[in-house]
Chain A
């Protein structure tokens, strides 16, 4: 008997304590996955050529989302009249949604609603049917609420079992097995005990089967964006607002075909320059100091001074020359002293005296030049106007003749140098993707003939200097060719890669439904691609937020 009771008790205890041990749903962590019982709130949807409308029933209120049909942009500056079962009513704007009192929505049933949306000169009528199911009628449906009742005792265990709480069932089974184990240890009446415990378990799980038809009372209703089994994505309007989903009605046009080239931003050779020393020596700051990085300088501005430094061998030879000169000067001075009295007597000719004087003067000049040799510093000036983009100057630095002391670039004059591998003629127009994914237009400067690594170098001028591109940036150049292709142009960010590697776009097929479509694309320019297959004209292609939609599971 002891074994029998122990088995039953073990199973029951385990099932009951599981309710409190796992009772963690009283608050939300924010990152929790929605429970299985979460449903979408009752809603009515409608679309016209101008607007798209979703009305979500929230107890005795309706939340009405109105967006532009083409762009999915929220419409907020509008007046919304609604023909409701209780007569005409006007919805009030709160934030970016319209709210409507709907006491009639507390009762289950089908309600025909006629919305009149007046947004400036755009006026449209939208008809929608709101179906309030039995389950939600009268119940405290609370969209976006995250609270759960705390389980208490057996009733809560049954509740959780109805909700298909696998953890609870697992604990029950574990308890059952524990009971069986205890009984096996004690031996005797094991068959009866097992059957009894099995009966308890079945009785506890029975409500699960009934739950499909029985009303459940309070139901937590929360609209959650999710991927449907067929791959389409359900995104409630509230989530679409947060993700800022925008669309574009596809229009088929003829576009010039483009080719892609790898390129690099380089300075315009006529608007950039290097500051280097010709003689090599010790760097000295000019009056006012060395110009710092980013300083704007004008052509001719003094950037640095270079004091020539002499090598040991040079210094020795200078000293030797100096000693020789001193010796020659001394000899010539003596000679001159002897000549002067003799010249008066005529023993030495006047010509000899003058020659000696000139020789002495020449020797003295040569010595003076040697003395001044170390004093003359080279002045380094800016060869072009621009901005200092590289600076290697420091006082006392010994600069060799090939040292790049400063690099001056005019940021308003930048070029892009690209490598063209294909054997095609490039048209005058090209573009690159700027830092903010906007296309930056380029003008062809010229193409070289040199086969530089099998590629033909092509140079472009950046038309608008205020693009944020910097020298050295690696860019992809999209150059127009002369051939034409037909397709739908779409922003580059509309095309994303699906989990299986396909290029896809999302098409907005219903107010809250998005469908992934495999597409084939060709480059158009730095900001756009041409969709040549997969999307039809008139489809609403998601242009912003596609990557976020793709993350939904």
Chain B
């Protein structure tokens, strides 16, 4: 049983759930079950809009996270902190291009972490 379960774990490698699309705030939006996250760069600040899968609001005020963005050929790491309800922000200190590549990690109040790749 356990052997089969272990095999199934690596067979079912979660490559899916990262279908990019344009979100309501004009940024790239991807699924990060159970959330949907949208990455909106604005100057040197990156805003991450978080909703549930069904577009309902999420209390982001207890969330923390990390954004790693590829800016100017170098990875830039910045901690995400809640600003307004539903949004986590991070100031990278450098100008962020609109089509930035990167990944974010968000940890909820329950300690559960989700990741999204853009």
Contact = CB atoms under 8 A, between A and B. Distances in A.
A39 B1 CA distance: 11
Interface stretch (B5-13, B44-52, B88-96): B5-13
Interface residues of B, number: 29
A118 B75 contact: yes
B73 A45 contact: no
Interface in A20-49: 39-40, 42-43, 45-47
B115 A512 contact: no
A81 B75 contact: yes
Contacts of A45: 10, 13
A439 B95 CA distance: 52
Contacts of B117: 125-127
A510 B10 CA distance: 9
B2 A135 contact: yes
A40 B101 contact: no
Given A114-B68, A127-B116, A513 B11 contact: yes
A43 B77 CA distance: 25
Given A47-B15, A127-B116, A40 B66 contact: no
Interface string B89-118: 000000000000111010000000111110
B103 A125 contact: yes
A294 interface: no
B24 interface: no
Contacts of B1: 212
B75 A40 contact: no
A46 B101 CA distance: 17
Interface in A233-256: 234
Contacts of A114: 66, 68, 103, 105, 115
Nearest to A221: B6
A111 B7 CA distance: 18
Interface residues of A, number: 32
A510 B13 contact: yes
A373 B6 CA distance: 96
Among B1, B5, B75: residue with most chain A CB under 10 A: B75
Interface in A54-112: 81, 83, 85, 88, 111-112
Contacts of B70: 123, 125
Interface in A104-159: 111-112, 114, 116, 118, 121, 123, 125-127, 129, 131, 133, 135
A123 B73 contact: yes
A112 B75 contact: no
A135 B117 CA distance: 31
A105 to B, nearest CB: 14
A228 interface: yes
Contacts of B75: 81, 116, 118, 123, 125
A83 B10 contact: no
A308 interface: no
Contacts of A111: 113
Given A123-B74, A125-B101, A212-B1, A43 B68 contact: no
B68 A83 contact: yes
Contact of A129 (B14, B18, B74): B14
B68 A228 contact: no
Interface string B58-85: 0000000010101001110100000000
Interface in A205-219: 212
A127 B77 contact: no
Contacts of B11: 510, 513
A228 B113 CA distance: 32
Contacts of A263: none
Contacts of B74: 123
Contacts of B105: 83, 112, 114, 127
A228 B9 CA distance: 14
Nearest to B14: A129
A126 B2 CA distance: 27
A233 to B, nearest CB: 12
A127 B103 contact: yes
Contact of B73 (A42, A81, A121, A512): A121
A511 interface: yes
B68 A133 contact: no
Contacts of B5: 133
A116 B15 contact: no
B6 to A, nearest CB: 5
A113 to B, nearest CB: 8
Contacts of A129: 14, 115
A298 B48 CA distance: 82
B2 A133 contact: yes
Contacts of A133: 2, 5-6
Contacts of B14: 129
B35 to A, nearest CB: 13
A39 B2 contact: yes
Given A127-B103, A133-B2, 19 more contacts: A39-B6, A40-B6, A40-B7, A43-B9, A43-B10, A45-B10, A45-B13, A46-B15, A81-B77, A83-B105, A112-B105, A114-B68, A118-B75, A121-B73, A125-B70, A127-B105, A129-B14, A133-B5, A212-B1
8 closest A-B pairs (Cβ-Cβ)? Answer: A125-B103, A112-B113, A127-B115, A45-B13, A112-B115, A116-B75, A114-B105, A39-B3
22 contacts: A40-B6, A40-B10, A43-B9, A45-B10, A46-B13, A47-B15, A88-B66, A88-B77, A112-B105, A114-B115, A116-B68, A116-B75, A116-B77, A123-B74, A125-B101, A126-B103, A126-B117, A127-B115, A127-B117, A129-B14, A131-B9, A513-B11
Interface of B: 1-3, 5-7, 9-11, 13-15, 18, 66, 68, 70, 73-75, 77, 101-103, 105, 113-117
Interface of A: 39-40, 42-43, 45-47, 81, 83, 85, 88, 111-112, 114, 116, 118, 121, 123, 125-127, 129, 131, 133, 135, 212, 228, 234, 510-513
